[in-house]
Amino acid sequence: MRFVFYTHSLVSDWNHGNAHFLRGVMRDLVARGHGAVALEPAEGWSRQNLVQQAGEAAVTQFHADFPELTSRSYGPGFDHAAATADADVVVVHEWTDPVLVAELGQLRREGARFCLLFHDTHHRAVSDTDAIAAMLLEDYDGILAFGETLRQRYLDSGWGARVFTWHEAADDRLFRPLPAGPVGDLVWIGNWGDGERTEELHRFLMQPAKALGLHGTVHGVRYPEGALAALRDAGLDYRGWIANARVPQAFADHRVTLHIPRRPYVEALPGIPTIRVFEALACGIPLICAPWQDAEGLFRPGADYLLARDGAEMQARLRDVLHDTALARSLAESGLATIRARHTCRHRVDELLGILEQLGATAPAEATT
């Protein structure tokens, strides 16, 4: 089958976590013998910021890290009808320009043969409802929502009749346990969050790290000067953007990591973890989570990861993991086992092909496995 993915960016993962998952899905499709190409806007903010911060070398490095992946840029005047003419499946990410979302729906309405899917991996359905409500999705064959609560939001709002839960997952070709390098205590990989988790980062990251005197590393973007000062005060080493292909080694070089979700996912979309949860567990690093509700039973709390209800508990959990090697080993082994059993991009491609079969749009026997 031939897949076309409209994404904000495949090449850049600067403040753009969906690129992680899409790369893994496309790699698995290609490995099975399917065709897959990404289409991304030429002036997308993620790629622009990446090049501004890291230079064109970051784009070159993406192609070296993922040689099997193909991405094309589009701008004004691009012929989307021609680009999708031979596609069997077109998947359109939620960050796509609404005008283009509507144009692709019109192509489908006018007889385009591809199965057209809308893919939502964000919280705008609850935090910016008008933006999602304005999307013209009536001609889409189905909607892929990255959590059950988001799926229900689409159904309750009447934004789609055929809405499927399609969680993110780890690309375990990339995310796997690696030999440890120079070992630090704590690594946090995440962006500042535009006020969506400012207080949480102070309470669950900076304050416990300072109280315990930990040696830690922080990667991410959009940290204002006040946040950088707070990291320095906590004794944490801020190192800015990190390419996702380098993250497995960053995990290997530290003894524990954290999951600190943005507030909309805790309050309005419970049960949806950041993709870093999947990736960290796939790398076999012990994980401690700030409060979130695993409403769908994706993992085994207390076995795959530890939960800290407040800053004092986070401090205690960090101390436990860093001083109890048996506990750290048990968490790492359990989390890795759960990922390998349920949450790799191979699992998600299986699920996608099953969804396409339900929609009458797939011929799985065409692919080699």
Tell me the DSSP string of 61-116: HHHHH-TT--EEEE-TT--HHHHTTT-SEEEEETTS-HHHHHHHHHHHHTT--SEE
| pLDDT one digit per residue (tens) for the chain, 369 residues | 999 999 999 999 999 999 999 999 999 999 999 999 999 999 999 999 999 999 999 999 999 999 999 999 999 999 999 999 999 999 999 999 999 999 999 999 999 999 999 999 998 999 899 999 999 999 999 999 999 999 999 999 999 989 999 999 999 999 999 998 888 999 999 999 777 899 999 999 999 999 999 999 999 999 999 999 999 999 999 999 999 999 999 999 999 999 999 888 888 888 999 899 999 999 999 999 999 999 999 999 999 999 999 999 999 999 999 999 999 999 999 999 999 999 999 999 999 999 999 999 865 444 433
Cα dihedral across residues 260, 262, 267, 272: positive or negative: negative
Q: Which of 217, 222, 233, 214 is nearest to 198 (CA)?
A: 222
- Which residue reads 């980062």 in tokens? 201
Q: Which of 319, 352, 298, 322 is nearest to 91 (CA)?
A: 352
- Which residue reads 């799926």 in tokens? 151
Sorted by sequence, the CB contacts under 8 Å of residue 126 that are 6+ apart come out as 153, 264, 268, 269
Side-chain-facing half-sphere of 284: CA atoms under 13 Å: 15
* DSSP label of 54: H
Angle between the N-to-C axes of helices 45-54 and 56-65, in degrees from 0 to 180, rounded to the nearest 10? 110
* DSSP label of 308: -
Task: Give the global pTM.
Answer: 0.95
Q: Which of 78, 95, 89 is nearest to 12 (CA)?
A: 95
Q: How far apart are CA 237 and CA 112, in angstroms?
A: 52
